[in-house]
Amino acid sequence: MDYVAAGIYCFQPYCVTGEMDPPANPLICPQFVLRFNDLDNIGITGRHYSGFIMMGIQVFNFPDQFHFFSHECVEFNYNWLTETLQIPPDQITFTEDVWCGGGNLGPSIEYSVGGLELGNMVFMQYKVAYDGVLTELPIQVIDVGIGLERIAWILNGSPTSYVDTFEGSYQFLREKLHLPPKSDQDPDDRLFWEKFGELSCELNVDDSTDIEKTWDLLAEKLAMEKTEIKTKISLERDLIILLDHTRTILMVIEDGSLPSNIGGGCNVRNALRRIFSVLHKNKWMEILKMEGLIALFQFHKKNLEAILGEFPPYKSFSEIIKIEYERWLSTDEKQKASLNKLIKKTKGKLSIDDWVHAVTTIGVNPDAVAKAGKIDIPSNLYSEIAKGQEKTVKLPDPILYDTTNLAPTLNLYETDHKLYKFDACILQVFSNKEMDNLNNIVVLDKSAFYPTSGGILMF
């Protein structure tokens, strides 16, 4: 996996199928995960992020090594909620569901506190084939996922989780933009955010069939005009988008990824360009400048290092951001002509597919499309872009051979990459399912063959 959207992804498929041992069993893994399909909700719902810390608890129950499964897991999580976090039992709700991801499927029990989902327990029982056929896993796997940001939110009782997650970086950004420090002393302002925070969960674009109607209902509950609410939260939302996206981009690029036009890299580029777009819309880039933007990226390390450890040096990080910014600025005449042609063809009534085409294929940022067409940006634009990217990503090859009973092959090239001759024992021979079942696949006890470089095996 290049991009992790769930904690268990780090252990699929080989630890789940038993072909490899996990690093510990049971284990706890604080994993930074990415959710590019949630970009439209960030800064509004109070709980959505493009990247957040998933506290994972994984258990791998081998036939001869059983730890615990469903009942024990539910009891463990319940005791953690009530005894460790001191949450009253009558505020806790358990809901049974199904979770599917990474080629596996199983029942899931989600738990919420006061209506806010804090975590879920997935009991993986099946491997899912391309044709939808389910095969029972020989190993019973538990995957518990808990959102770290939500734990801080529920314990502190803040209006939104962003207040706790970005506490230091939020003040840092306001200072850099010469905005006055936000104070909780204004009772009217605090009351608004407390009421809005409680109702903002209804603005999830994934759950709402008509988001504008949802805004109308929320305005009625707050006894305010819809436009007044949107205006009041606009600046705060843009600040949260900047804080969230810069933290995610920092993690993604520092971990080795680059913005691109294909696959997950396209989502990275879209998120980065949204940062530039928000900065220009508010004329903040004139204040922040590139040096200030880079400083914001780096500031996130202070909070993350407490969980993930010290970041290694990455000298080219700032250059990557600068290059992407220059590319974003240079929308050429050909792109403008293509956009104008699209707007003329649709008479200014762009469908969501037209929007996705304009942003991803033509390469024009959403604000430029909105300005050219004199129309509003759709509330679900980024989720639709993410869905499109998911469809274009090549699925992993299916596992055709069961190697769970074989000891790991000793990789000789790791100690001597110039080794060209070696002696080894054949542990097993497989019939090649892709070559008329020829007996030409061998498993050796040790090997100097580098996996992607080929070679000739002589007997």
Closest to 222 measured CA to CA, from 244, 193, 260: 193
Please state, in angstroms and as integers, the Cα–Cα distance from residue 146 to each residue in 28, 31, 81, 296, 451, following that order: 11, 10, 12, 27, 36
Contact 401, 430 (CB under 8 A): yes
The domain 7-154 is placed in CATH, from the list 3.30.479.30, 3.30.930.10, 1.10.4080.10, 3.20.20.110, at 3.30.930.10
> For 429-440, what is each residue's pLDDT tens digit?
998 888 888 888
The pLDDT value given to residue 279 = 95
Average pLDDT over every residue of 242-266: 90
- Within its chain, how far is the Cα of 129 from the centroid? 24
Cα(144)–Cα(54) distance, integer angstroms? 9
- The answer to whether residue 58 scores a pLDDT higher than 80 is yes
Assigned token pair, 117: 């989902």
3-class SS at 63?
Answer: coil
> For 386-396, what is each residue's pLDDT tens digit?
777 655 555 55
Contact 211, 203 (CB under 8 A): yes
What amino acid is encoded at 63 in this protein? P
What amino acid is encoded at 47 in this protein? R
The pLDDT value given to residue 190 = 82
- The answer to whether residue 453 scores a pLDDT higher than 70 is no
For residue 62, count other CB atoms closer than 10 A to its CB. Answer: 14
Cα(242)–Cα(238) distance, integer angstroms? 6
Query: Model confidence at 264, in pLDDT bands (50, 70, 90)?
Result: confident
Q: Which range has the worst mean pLDDT, 216-220, 240-244, 307-311, 450-454?
A: 450-454
Please state, in angstroms and as integers, the Cα–Cα distance from residue 162 to each residue in 217, 240, 301, following that order: 24, 7, 17
Q: Residue ranges per domain, the chain?
A: 7-154, 166-327, 331-395, 400-459
Cα(276)–Cα(284) distance, integer angstroms? 10
Please state, in angstroms and as integers, the Cα–Cα distance from residue 196 to each residue in 46, 171, 220, following that order: 9, 21, 12
Q: What is the pTM of this model?
A: 0.80
Average pLDDT over every residue of 450-457: 62
User: What's the chain's average pLDDT?
Assistant: 87
> For 269-309, what is each residue's pLDDT tens digit?
889 999 999 999 999 999 999 999 999 999 999 888 888 88
